[in-house]
């Protein structure tokens, strides 16, 4: 079509060539390739992201064709009434990479000059598409801040936007539809409002005001309409370019987040990264990650940003309960524009207390799924600048949630493997090798800070008789019962392990010999008071244990010496009649009785 256009194009508005519209550091095709090539092992997770990238490339090509068409149309249609310097100024601004805010202020400045107006504003729909908000305003030749919002279709600007027809109000004081806004004058004004249309898209409304006794002529209004058509075209170019920049940036952030999450196997750190990544991606100040508890029936908050810690620790949600429960039950994302009007959010009797925790009324919640299995729910709130979440925010968060679900499952499997590697499968206590590693670390710390440390060895008395009389299944129950008592009476920092067969060992941190003896007596007495119901036995089975202990620094200063001397003390307890606690004493030696005597 350009071949039919006139050769003389000086002073006319032309779009920059597509390559010139993208800075050197922005390359959508490169970012698309970068996204598609991330971790082939997660093809399912990245399929939708790759589709978005391909769609982005298609949109870029489409917008280039539309921009070329608009360029030709502007050259083909004469604009004799619009001063060339005004057209050239906007064109040069766009080619220089002006932001939307800078371009709209320039449009207002030229509009005020063309019409001789004192005040002007440009309004456009907000993210939700239900209200018009002021994007730019000027009065007396300088920019002003105006946070006016009005429902779509209301006010003079709202009627012009929905109808697409310009409106002239001779006296705003006599117009019931006029809404002056934050910076508007209290007295009546002459007002003109024209739509800002680019091709088939309506971008917003341009409103200008003059003194009521100085109305503009019909020719001046026609000049404003001609200028607004050109201004809207330039605004559309900038908006399309900024939108493409935003999409490329979002995809780049998603790539970086995916790579970061893929390399994280430590669970707590991973959950923190997921929540912080959600806040970064969606520009919000509050987010929470909820996962199912072990019962697979209750959701609890595992990590959050912007929430009261007491609330994080207390919240429990069942499927179907509230917004997160609804998402968990249905397995679908949920975008709530106004939480005060959504029955899934509000709870009877809270008096709006829950909504009061949020600075915005918009909420977004998406599921974490592994195939068809529900893993948890990711929630975000309090979007910056009081904006509401958009369908594109929802899609981006779903992409993040897909990667997050895979990473959470990988971390869970990794923790399971780690636990199996160091945990005895029967008693669920630590294995001997892990105990010895922890013993060496704790002993080194106690040496450095001059703190006491004790090791306690336990053995079930006559355990061979239990297996021979009642079978190994009952023997396993006895081992599990003793392991349960060790966990119950042990402290949080103690390291308890199954040492081998019916022998157990406990590392008592910062505990001297007196404390070790007391701990051993508590366990011995608890075992004496415990009974086992055995099928076929005439009466409940009672089991006793023998305990030996040694302490640092008095009984030794290395792992092997302390374990050996605790073992000597245990042999002494066995040889002395069993069902007793003995501490190491100098001169103790291994009893000369046969090995069977130990059981």
pLDDT tens across 388-447, in order?
888 889 999 999 999 898 888 888 888 878 778 888 989 999 999 999 999 999 999 999
3-state secondary structure 237-294: HHHHHHHHHHHHHHHHHHHHHHHHHHCCCCHHHHHHHHHHHHHHHHCEEEEEEEEECC
Contact 379, 242 (CB under 8 A): no
- Which pLDDT belongs to residue 16? 42
Listed as ranges, residues in the chain with pLDDT below 50 are 1-41, 76-80, 347-356, 594-596
Extents of the domains making up the chain: 1-116+228-251, 117-215, 263-348+355-417, 432-598
Sheet holding 284-292, edge to edge: 316-317, 299-305, 284-292, 373-383, 363-370, 334-336
Inter-CA distances, 227 with 75, 197, 567, Å: 14, 11, 96
- Give 430's DSSP letter: B
> Would you call 433 helix, strand, or coil by DSSP?
helix
Interatomic CA distance for residues 116 and 566, integer angstroms: 98
Phi and psi angles of residue 283, each rounded to the nearest 5 degrees, phi first = 55, 55
- For helices 472-489 and 513-528, the axis angle rounded to 10 degrees is 140
CA 580 and chain centroid, separation: 55
Longest dimension (CA), the chain: 121
- Which pLDDT belongs to residue 438? 92
- Which pLDDT belongs to residue 47? 58
- For helices 43-76 and 218-262, the axis angle rounded to 10 degrees is 160
**Tokens, residue 579:** 């069902």
Angle (CA) 464 465 466, round 5°: 90
Interatomic CA distance for residues 593 and 41, integer angstroms: 61
The continuous run of DSSP H or E covering 467 comes out as helix 463-470
Bridge-partner residues for 136, per DSSP? 122
What fold does the segment set 263-348+355-417 form as a domain?
A: Beta-Lactamase (3.30.450)
Please compute, for residue 503, the number of CA atoms within 13 A of its CA located in the half-sphere on the CB side: 16
- Which pLDDT belongs to residue 377? 94
Sheet holding 453-460, edge to edge: 495-500, 503-509, 453-460, 545-552, 581-583
Interatomic CA distance for residues 430 and 541, integer angstroms: 27
- Which pLDDT belongs to residue 31? 44
pLDDT digit string, tens, across residues 266-315 = 888 899 999 999 999 998 989 999 998 877 789 999 999 988 888 888 88
What fold does the segment set 117-215 form as a domain?
A: Beta-Lactamase (3.30.450)
CATH code given to domain 432-598: 3.30.70.270
Bridge-partner residues for 547, per DSSP? 458, 581
Contact 299, 325 (CB under 8 A): yes
Is pTM beyond 0.75? Reply is no
Please compute, for residue 509, the number of CA atoms within 13 A of its CA located in the half-sphere on the CB side: 18
> Would you call 376 helix, strand, or coil by DSSP?
strand
Interatomic CA distance for residues 406 and 412, integer angstroms: 10
- Which pLDDT belongs to residue 53? 61
- 117-215 and 263-348+355-417: identical CATH topology: yes
């Amino acid at each position: 079509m350009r071949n039919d256009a006139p050769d003389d194009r000086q002073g006319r508005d032309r779009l920059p060539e597509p390559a010139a519209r993208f800075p050197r550091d922005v390359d959508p095709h490169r970012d698309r390739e970068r996204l598609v090539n991330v971790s082939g092992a997660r093809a399912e997770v990245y399929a939708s992201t790759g589709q978005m990238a391909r769609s982005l490339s298609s949109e870029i090509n489409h917008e280039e064709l539309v921009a070329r068409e608009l360029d030709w149309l502007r050259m083909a249609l004469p604009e004799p009434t619009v001063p060339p310097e005004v057209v050239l100024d906007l064109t040069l601004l766009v080619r220089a990479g002006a932001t939307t805010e800078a371009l709209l202020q320039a449009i207002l400045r030229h509009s005020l000059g063309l019409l001789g107006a004192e005040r002007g504003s440009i309004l456009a729909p907000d993210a939700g598409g239900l209200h018009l908000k002021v994007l730019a305003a000027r009065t007396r030749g300088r920019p002003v801040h105006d946070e006016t919002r009005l429902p779509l279709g209301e006010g003079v600007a709202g009627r012009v936007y929905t109808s697409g027809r310009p409106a002239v109000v001779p006296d705003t004081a006599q117009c019931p539809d006029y809404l002056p806004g934050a910076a508007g004058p209290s007295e009546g004004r002459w007002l003109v409002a024209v739509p800002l249309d680019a091709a088939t898209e309506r971008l917003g409304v341009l409103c200008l005001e003059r003194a009521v006794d100085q109305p503009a002529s019909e020719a001046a209004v026609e000049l404003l309409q001609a200028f607004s058509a050109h201004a809207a075209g330039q605004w559309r170019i900038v908006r399309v370019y900024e939108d493409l920049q935003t999409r490329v940036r979002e995809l780049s952030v998603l790539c970086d987040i995916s790579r970061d999450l893929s390399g994280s196997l430590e669970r707590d750190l991973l959950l923190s990264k997921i929540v912080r990544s959600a806040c970064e991606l969606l520009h919000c100040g509050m987010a929470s990650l909820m996962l199912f508890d072990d019962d697979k029936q209750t959701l609890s908050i595992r990590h959050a940003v912007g929430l009261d810690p007491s609330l994080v620790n207390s919240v429990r949600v069942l499927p179907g309960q509230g917004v997160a429960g609804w998402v968990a039950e249905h397995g679908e994302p949920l975008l709530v524009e106004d939480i005060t009007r959504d029955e899934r959010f509000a709870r009877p009797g809270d008096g709006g207390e829950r909504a009061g925790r949020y600075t915005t009324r918009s909420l977004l919640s998406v599921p974490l799924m592994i195939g068809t299995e529900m893993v948890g729910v990711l929630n975000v709130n309090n979007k910056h600048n009081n904006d509401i979440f958009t369908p594109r925010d929802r899609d981006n968060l779903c992409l993040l949630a897909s990667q997050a679900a895979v990473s959470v499952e990988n971390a869970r499997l990794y923790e399971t493997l780690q636990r199996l590697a160091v945990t005895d499968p029967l008693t669920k206590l630590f294995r001997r090798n892990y105990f010895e590693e922890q013993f060496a670390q704790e002993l080194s710390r106690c040496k450095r800070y001059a703190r006491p440390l004790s090791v306690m060895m336990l053995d079930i008395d006559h355990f061979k008789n239990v297996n021979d009389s009642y079978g190994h299944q009952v023997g396993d129950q006895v081992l599990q019962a003793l392991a349960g008592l060790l966990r119950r009476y042990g402290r949080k920092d103690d390291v308890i392990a199954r040492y081998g067969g019916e022998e157990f060992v406990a590392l008592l941190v910062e505990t001297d010999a007196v404390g070790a003896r007391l701990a051993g007596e508590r366990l011995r007495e608890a075992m004496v008071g415990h009974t086992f119901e055995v099928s076929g036995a005439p009466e409940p089975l009672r089991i006793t244990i023998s305990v030996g202990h040694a302490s640092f620094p008095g009984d030794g200063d290395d792992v092997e010496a302390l374990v050996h001397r605790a073992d000597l003390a245990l042999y002494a307890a066995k040889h002395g009649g069993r069902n007793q606690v003995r501490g190491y004493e100098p001169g103790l030696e291994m009893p000369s009785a046969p090995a069977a005597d130990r059981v």
